[in-house]
Structure 1
Amino acid sequence: MNTEKPVAPPLSPRASQAVHRSLSPRQEAASRDVDTLIRCGRELLTRGEPARVADIVAAAGLSNDAFYRYFRSKGDFVDAVVEEGGHRLVAYLRRKIDAATTPEDALRAGIAAILSQAVDPEIAAATRNVVASAGGRSHAPKVREDLETTLAQVLAGPITELGSTDPERDSLTTSILLLASMEHLLWKDASDFDADSEVEHIVGYVRRGLRT
């Protein structure tokens, strides 16, 4: 005897649209809630203020139930804040690279954009506060891996134009190098740090690697 359950046929286009219409208001409300939580949480975290879940939901005008509807824990929430910051960094990097007129200038602009996260005093302080709020853990491994990959995709254009024979791997290696350099600078005294010199040093390092 055949005991397999019958497979439901796929919904027709009109039926699918009806389902989508029923879910849309809830999806839009959820998007607004999550955006508000992340925005308010980011403002608290970057200022170094107390950021318990109670503080975050109070700033957002939402409830604890709403918070835990979207995030498993405060750590999960901080990862979302870090990930959102990564998306903003990628957008900034893309604008800087797109504005450059030569591949080397594009590479230089990209390197400067990433290092600015540690060199600019205001941005660096905000980043350190977010990391401290995570107990010294700057991000979940998957968040870091996704950021490395996305930055590599943006850097691939100028690196390819500069003569890379393996742009995918070279771009990822450069991305990892830049994020590690940025994090190293983030925690050292940058009062006497020459950002332009560091940018030129890394540009030269990458260029020599590509020529090799």
Structure 2
Amino acid sequence: MSGDTADDLASRIAERSLAKRGANYAAEVRRLLDAALAVMKERGTASRPRVADIVAAAGLSNEAFYRHFSSKDALVAALLEDGTLRLRRYVDHQMNKEPTPERKIRRWVEGVLAQAIGETADTTRAVEWNAGGLGEDSMKAKLSADRPMASLLHEPFTELGSAEPDFDALLASHAVLGMLADYLWRRVEPSAADIDRIYEFCLRTVNPR
């Protein structure tokens, strides 16, 4: 076997090993995120779980935890980001069912405010509560939901004639997510009338009258 052939074989084996390790690590991260979410939901706003509690629920070791997260704060930041991605995918899917920009915006409002209803509200509240004392990097993750959610409004706002769809979408996103936080902390579910008014506000953001 020539040196080049041996090197190629070694490279292929190394690549397979790295790919397998990457898949295993991704599975570890998902187990930690899911376990943290479950423990936080169970405890609500009564107490914040320790790393040991999360590791135990995930069936993993402290070594596995710190392989992926520098601290519990980093894990909570990742949970916030993961929650934003899940919410964005869900709302985007709902919006794609609608034929008009008005109906897309309505679906957007309903999807965001659904986070303040039932068991979903309990989970969202618990994660947000655990994020309450985090540092600068984690706070950036907490605030980052505005722009991903606003991006879904860009197209319908443009269709409705917004002169500055990026700005208007971000304004609407910031306002509605702010209302979501208010409902969560007051432990009040938005009424049908509330949803109507918030939807109308979003339309006025595009076309003030």
TM range, smaller chain: 0.7 to 0.9
How far apart are 1:96 and its partner, in Å? 1.3
Q: Which residue of 1 aligns with 2:4?
A: none
TM-align CA RMSD: 2.5
Q: Which amino acid aligns with 1:133?
A: N
Contact 1:48 1:126 in 2 (8 A): no
Q: SS of the counterpart of 1:165?
A: coil
Q: Distance in 2 between matches of 1:145 and 1:133?
A: 14
Contact 1:131 1:137 in 2 (8 A): no
Q: Distance in 2 between matches of 1:194 and 1:178?
A: 12
Q: Distance in 2 between matches of 1:144 and 1:65?
A: 26
Stretches of structure 2 that go unaligned for 5 or more consecutive residues are 1-8
* Runs of 4+ that moved beyond 3 A: 14-22, 134-139
Change (3 A) 1:15 1:166: farther
Q: Distance in 2 between matches of 1:135 and 1:208?
A: 32
Q: SS of the counterpart of 1:164?
A: coil
Aligned-residue sequence identity (percent) comes to 35
Q: Which amino acid aligns with 2:128?
A: V
Count, aligned residues: 197
How far apart are 1:198 and its partner, in Å? 1.4
Q: Which residue of 1 aligns with 2:195?
A: 199
Q: Distance in 2 between matches of 1:148 and 1:195?
A: 23
Q: Which residue of 1 aligns with 2:3?
A: none
Give deviations 1:155-187, integer Å, cap 9, x for gaps: 212111111111111111111111111001111
Q: Which residue of 1 aligns with 2:35?
A: 40
Q: Which residue of 2 aligns with 1:62?
A: 60
Q: Which residue of 2 aligns with 1:3?
A: none
The correspondence for 1:27, drawn from 14, 22, 30, is 22
Change (3 A) 1:19 1:177: farther
The correspondence for 2:157, drawn from 156, 159, 166, is 159
Q: Which residue of 2 aligns with 1:210?
A: 206
Q: Distance in 1 between matches of 2:92 and 2:52?
A: 36
TM-score by length of 1: 0.83
Q: Distance in 2 between matches of 1:35 and 1:135?
A: 23
Q: Distance in 2 between matches of 1:33 and 1:53?
A: 14
Q: How does 1:1-212 map to 2 (within 5 A)?
A: 20-48=15-43, 51-118=49-116, 120-135=117-132, 140-190=138-188, 195-212=191-208
Contact 1:151 1:175 in 2 (8 A): yes
Change (3 A) 1:101 1:111: same
Q: Which amino acid aligns with 2:42?
A: R
Change (3 A) 1:66 1:200: same
Change (3 A) 1:170 1:177: same
TM-score by length of 2: 0.84
Contact 2:105 2:153 in 1 (8 A): yes
Change (3 A) 1:99 1:19: same
Stretches of structure 1 that go unaligned for 5 or more consecutive residues are 1-13
